Structure 1
């Protein structure tokens, strides 16, 4: 295998590339100093000469060639491509190449230009919550905050206002909104830029916002900041994800954005299945441009390109911020055939068509982005967006505790305000984002510690507020109307003297996070001590948290003097006004958590931290599959502190009259393969198959919004998945009917064999409630058999028939349990002429510190590794014949093994019992009984975890339960 040498470009040493593009995980060798371009400054470039040096070589499936877009999705795209191809035909090779790279300019990103044909440079700029680094722009709430509104109308208005400001500044491409990170890792540094841990809620936000600003960011699997780039330790982290999980979790929200005509997608830094995101043909050519029919262009994140030929052929269309591995190199590659002229033409056509499809050829403003060191004419684009920002700030504020109607405040005369987050500090600056103590980081006391109220996160996703209305400022404005008194201490951990005569004490804390690093903790001792110290002296302590995501509260949430708690998110420039609107009851809180708040960090399990590795080829294995956030809590039987979708109101609501209507009773399991794919995916995926309606009534005495939520139990999937929500305004006593439309996509799973979204012939339990756990009504919609895909044998007339065991571990009672289907007679069921009682369940551990894996030095014997048969636990139970005849009973032992079906039979005994007789039954649990098969190490493996155990008369008639811990 001989590499093709490209000529030197931008003072980079000659670059070597493998021609076999299917081997995508190989890093392409080059020369240069540790800080040489292209790439992020300061990390060592790596060099390989053959395949054997690279582990997991070729893991990401190759998908070639890169599809050429033609605008067939709709009339707007068709017209745009007609114009683009007419202009493309007039360009020289060098002019085309110049349109695929970045140049230095006033914007964060600047493309090439062709002055002779009137093609101007495109301006690309951050951030997803407002134009970054400019004056006379608005600082909008962050993505995580808009998601907490659960309001599609506000999401659209938010996107429209953002789009107006970007357009007003002459910015062609807004680098947002963000669907990745989805928030897989609890301590993820950029979770706040995304919308939610749930793909449906994130997708709704992506759709609404994209409709306004026509762009989308970070495709795909950008879930942690640690080692997102290659460096001295080796390559960037590789996010290793199975095909079904990629589609059902991470592709899902992007589909909504693309359906709304998103014209650009950004590829990210990390590797995905060991291929860098911007040269990953499976993601770009396969999923984005083929499955989802993407008509726009793919732009790299800044310095995220790690190859030339590979990235071009894998589907990358534009690189930032400079020529990277392209420039003159790309010209040579086209000339020598490494990259086809068709691929280059498609890169350019996609950009030009995107320009036309969003109407930027019709009176688009001149670029109004300038350096603050440069004298210029101010361009004010704020309009009346402050009012919208205030509305969104209030709507996304989540009330999670409110003892005895502490809130709303009722014209208090004396308030005490504590905490570093209450004010904008005089020594802080709008242009910097220093670490705050609330992020859990070790920083010295001083201005960095008390940098003031938090309205957004840090890094390239942060905005540039024209001003910030702090909570203290807004509270002062409000209490002055009542000629009240306000006292404050913004810097003490233990404020003294305590103002015990105050009507209420408001404590302001925050949790900061930023791009480039992940969080060290989900709470910090300083802030927790502040809350506890204030609560020790004030019987009416109200805590307000401005947070970039998860913030744990269990060190003080049950304190009797903590009477109310608000998650106030990242509300933008109108922070204080938004908060006071809620505190004083001008607006009843209606925000709902877009994530799950645990009681302790360990409840997040393997999804607490980013993957830390010092290997040259670090691996981040998404072994949890579909089970993140509330799905994981449900699966593992962990009770959260505040569940996904939870939020209190100043009113109360009732739900009634659940109805389900089928529109397409005999819908095919697969979409029609003869229908052309358009942008957003197969058109039939968006067909409505069912309507679910529910009546919601405001049973309180104030006007308020409620957010009824629809969850579906899709067979072979998590027990509940969000598939509908609506923020409903209701006057006191008013009732409204809410309608949820369920599409084919909403009810489908991704079939990894046929590579398509597939409906299952089964029953789908549905749940309507006020959160993921507060279920008010439930019902069932049906797609034929209770046995689903396991009803019939596989019938095939192919020469090589295939029988795919896609159900995995879920057969018989395991499948019925998982899918929420009530059987006529369950596994293990049987009656007797007598009756029996169970008592005195006991669990004894024989090997408390058993290793997770059997000893590899012990020889294998017939039947497997000898240690698999070692007894690790005894479970005993007393069974009594409470009837009046001799009879046999069969007590059964079921185990809930983590990452497995909810219950699995692991013991039984047929026990003869005279009338009135009692016997103790002993079940021995071996290593094998408690292990799962680890497909990586190829061995039976114990998990360090809690295992729920159940003893009963059948798989559903459970009499006793307990827990054993490995």
Structure 2
């Protein structure tokens, strides 16, 4: 999401689940946006109604029971209050719901971002998701999640808007791929689930986002001249790639989910009944609540019927006008019968149950900060024409010792791509000359660019709503200077003409590549890297080449949001070493110095592929620039993105997915494989029946429950309320134009469902692989074992040759030390999605499955064949 400054892209009322517009509860003043290019044949989103009830999962039973007691006694106004945001700038947080004070439920505070508390103070700016993915360290993934959750709780944030597992990284130029954990569904799924578990262990509600297919920033939203693009994804690709990490998040018990702005198969994500009702809430068994992204709410009745539970920030098509698709219009829709009472009851129950599930009814803090100002006092409702004032920032310090975690994540992510002659680690007495503005700080001052919307100084994170203010910044210049006095710094992106070079001098050149969210354009790049492409910013390639002409030893340090081309200089004789430090957050300099000077050996691995040319990617994954009409972004490459594509097309990349060197060496030995749960059948056994769900009186309530005449408080203009003037005049009607396929008859249980994340049998451990990892070098270090699955042709489907399914990282191993790692894979890990049967299909008894373990997708010395034992090359 993003702040109100995105109003240049204000969405109009979009079409509902099908290509036929569905009216808003206001009926005659609904806006219909018919401008649409036809989707390719075979890409559609069939209707799926009604919304399945939440509450049947056993580990949510207590929370739903508490919620049922409360919701049973709520008025219509209280129910609507909790489903509708109060409006832009109508509270301290980036979004907040109305409240139900009779039951102790406050305005629920929703706040960005996936890497920390956005627009706050005394918080930690953790490294972003792409950096976390590069660590391949499960403990750090969880610990960082705990830190984010602790800070959210400490600031009074009920619902923290992260982690992000969409975009998946299909488009290398995509603006927000750095918010996720890497271009692989298993890496995203494991990291996302561990982040969620960590966050929610503190009582904060995590929000998994953006559901689904938001793979480029440009034209994601509807506006006065265009319609948000449609990501056209076939069923198998959806399940095996883009849905996979969301399923893992649901399995982890995530409390909230945020929909994407775009359409999927010509139906807007926030009102796509197949995605929300059918896949998320039925097949995946999601027990929490679904919210819109900010201004991603396009209809009233249509979105409610399709499975949306909360609209954010609450406003209608144009914010700050005081109107909403829900709010008072939801009250009208309940009274006139166009939205069934049981749908509203389920919406509210999901929200309240999630609040109870995380224990937020027990001494959870209220917000003590303002996302709107850094001043101590200010307007309580800045979006109102007239607003009371008061203390809005209490400057509560929530950082604790999270700087330790931030530094550890940034350090363990650093990925050594090249190290000729073992030039690294550097010695403290080496003569260094350091080049590039990326080694320094922002010359305009710390946090001088709103939401990091500039590329000045060391690149700590991309830009947009997925950021946090830096409480401090240790630059690479500071980090290096703290270790050695033998470094001279040239904080410039133009190679100086007066550099004097001695034979033993080492040049350390810093370059970067930035991107972010679409509401900010930086140096001609509107979120996506349209202007810069995959090249280094600020003529970084030229800076490296100039240094390579003068110095015989060059070390390149890269801070980047995603894939970056290196071909202009990577093979130059002088370029001896390359480190990708990803996006390091506040501890940029310390984490780099830890590795650069050898206190720690690099142990990061690439969470995406580095190509030799952008033309090496499929044509279909380029950014689409089409300002008029609806873009049809069809995923014709199917399953073949990132390393799956490179292997399938027989293209050798510059550096493969998973690549990462060390200052020491490791070998794998003594591999073994064991069957844990036999795959006796191709499809998993039938899931157990659902538990019971809350039951309510679903009669239309009294109109007086939402009458303005029943209230006695001072009304704030532009604040979104559930109340109506003269609601007694509203009568039920039988002629509401419901979406095509709408029904109140429950659907048959999906055969792939039955538990959170899907059929519980999908997550039975099928095979366990053990392997010993030994440090065979002379320095201490950590190794990562990556497990890739090769499925047999007997499944009868075109399947990528290698697919990451598991990984484990060793502890620090001294020279000669070994550690035995166990990597477990589930039935789902060795299955494909059968689009005809609508279930996951695995080879019976695992016949023909090959399991590879190694250092990267291109370096897998261990081979285990199910039923045939293991070997090491």
- Normalising by the smaller structure, the TM-score range is 0.7 to 0.9
Residues 678-697 of structure 1: matches in 2 within 5 Å?
A: 678-697=755-774
- Retained in 1: the 8 A contact 2:230–2:631? yes
Question: Are 1:470 and 2:475 matched, yes or no?
Answer: yes
Whole-Å separation in 2 of the counterparts to 1:622 and 1:750: 17
Q: 1:73 to 1:88 in 2, by over 3 A?
A: same
Whole-Å separation in 1 of the counterparts to 2:564 and 2:37: 45
Shift of 1:30: 7.7
Show CA shifts across 1:57-76 (max 9, x none): 99211110001112x3233x
Shift of 1:231: 2.3
Whole-Å separation in 1 of the counterparts to 2:414 and 2:583: 9
Secondary structure of the corresponding residue to residue 670 of structure 2: strand
- Retained in 1: the 8 A contact 2:432–2:486? yes
- Retained in 2: the 8 A contact 1:133–1:431? no
Aligned to 2:529: 519
- Retained in 2: the 8 A contact 1:147–1:201? yes
Secondary structure of the corresponding residue to residue 678 of structure 2: coil
Aligned to 2:803: 721
Aligned to 2:383: none
Q: 1:559 to 1:132 in 2, by over 3 A?
A: same
Question: Are 1:258 and 2:250 matched, yes or no?
Answer: yes
Whole-Å separation in 2 of the counterparts to 1:97 and 1:382: 36
Show CA shifts across 1:278-301 (max 9, x none): 000111101110011111000100
Secondary structure of the corresponding residue to residue 236 of structure 1: coil
Aligned to 2:102: 116
Shift of 1:17: 10
Q: 1:698 to 1:607 in 2, by over 3 A?
A: farther
Residues 662-701 of structure 1: matches in 2 within 5 Å?
A: 662-676=675-689, 677-701=754-778
- Retained in 2: the 8 A contact 1:428–1:452? no
TM-score (norm 1): 0.74
Question: Are 1:211 and 2:197 matched, yes or no?
Answer: yes
- Retained in 2: the 8 A contact 1:25–1:60? no
Match of 2:58 among 52, 59, 74: 74
Whole-Å separation in 2 of the counterparts to 1:244 and 1:52: 24
Whole-Å separation in 1 of the counterparts to 2:231 and 2:311: 22
Whole-Å separation in 2 of the counterparts to 1:54 and 1:181: 21
Aligned to 2:442: 425
Residues 712-751 of structure 1: matches in 2 within 5 Å?
A: 712-715=789-792, 716=797, 717-729=799-811, 730-751=813-834
- Retained in 2: the 8 A contact 1:593–1:646? yes
Pick the structure with greater CA Rg: 1
Secondary structure of the corresponding residue to residue 206 of structure 1: helix
Secondary structure of the corresponding residue to residue 726 of structure 1: strand
TM-score (norm 2): 0.81
Shift of 1:551: 1.2
Q: Which runs of 5+ in 1 are unaligned?
A: 1-14, 39-44, 437-447, 784-966
Aligned to 1:367: 367
- Retained in 2: the 8 A contact 1:139–1:463? yes
Q: How many residue pairs were aligned?
A: 738
Aligned to 1:332: 332
Residues 195-344 of structure 1: matches in 2 within 5 Å?
A: 195-214=181-200, 215=206, 216-324=208-316, 325-344=325-344
Aligned to 2:695: none
Aligned to 1:768: 853
Shift of 1:496: 2.2
- Retained in 1: the 8 A contact 2:25–2:332? no
Secondary structure of the corresponding residue to residue 478 of structure 1: coil
Shift of 1:656: 1.7
Question: Are 1:185 and 2:187 matched, yes or no?
Answer: no
Shift of 1:48: 4.3
Secondary structure of the corresponding residue to residue 773 of structure 2: strand
Question: Are 1:548 and 2:548 matched, yes or no?
Answer: no
Shift of 1:492: 4.2
Show CA shifts across 1:220-246 (max 9, x none): 111111100112442110000011111
Q: 1:54 to 1:698 in 2, by over 3 A?
A: closer
Q: 1:431 to 1:80 in 2, by over 3 A?
A: farther
Match of 2:588 among 572, 575, 581: 575
Show CA shifts across 1:894-943 (max 9, x none): xxxxxxxxxxxxxxxxxxxxxxxxxxxxxxxxxxxxxxxxxxxxxxxxxx
Whole-Å separation in 2 of the counterparts to 1:52 and 1:476: 57
- Retained in 1: the 8 A contact 2:118–2:469? yes
Shift of 1:738: 1.4
Whole-Å separation in 2 of the counterparts to 1:631 and 1:311: 36
Aligned to 1:156: 142
- Retained in 2: the 8 A contact 1:25–1:56? no
Question: Are 1:86 and 2:169 matched, yes or no?
Answer: no
Match of 1:539 among 552, 572, 577: 552
Range that drifts further, 655-664 or 585-594: 655-664
Aligned to 1:929: none
Q: 1:52 to 1:273 in 2, by over 3 A?
A: closer
Aligned to 1:351: 351
Aligned to 2:495: 494
Whole-Å separation in 2 of the counterparts to 1:651 and 1:583: 14
Whole-Å separation in 2 of the counterparts to 1:334 and 1:667: 50
Q: 1:666 to 1:135 in 2, by over 3 A?
A: closer
Show CA shifts across 1:240-285 (max 9, x none): 0011111110111112211221000001100000000000011110
Show CA shifts across 1:458-491 (max 9, x none): 0000111101100001111111xxxx33222222
Shift of 1:333: 1.5
Shift of 1:383: 0.1
Whole-Å separation in 1 of the counterparts to 2:42 and 2:843: 35
Q: 1:273 to 1:666 in 2, by over 3 A?
A: closer
Match of 2:416 among 395, 399, 402: 399
- Retained in 1: the 8 A contact 2:435–2:495? no
Match of 2:650 among 604, 621, 637: 637
Q: Which runs of 5+ in 2 are unaligned?
A: 1-11, 201-205, 317-324, 378-392, 519-526, 690-753, 869-873
Question: Are 1:777 and 2:862 matched, yes or no?
Answer: yes
Shift of 1:614: 4.0
- Retained in 2: the 8 A contact 1:431–1:464? no
Measured on the aligned residues, the alpha-carbon RMSD in Å equals 2.4
Secondary structure of the corresponding residue to residue 704 of structure 1: coil
Whole-Å separation in 2 of the counterparts to 1:159 and 1:770: 26
Aligned to 1:9: none
Q: 1:338 to 1:46 in 2, by over 3 A?
A: closer
- Retained in 1: the 8 A contact 2:271–2:306? yes
Aligned to 2:117: 131
Q: 1:534 to 1:433 in 2, by over 3 A?
A: farther
Match of 1:654 among 663, 667, 684: 667
Aligned to 1:529: 542
- Quick one: higher RCO (CA 8 Å, sep 6+), 1 or 2? 2
Shift of 1:433: 5.2
Whole-Å separation in 2 of the counterparts to 1:393 and 1:226: 29
Whole-Å separation in 1 of the counterparts to 2:43 and 2:535: 41
Whole-Å separation in 2 of the counterparts to 1:17 and 1:273: 14
- Retained in 2: the 8 A contact 1:26–1:54? no
Q: 1:666 to 1:646 in 2, by over 3 A?
A: closer
Shift of 1:416: 0.9
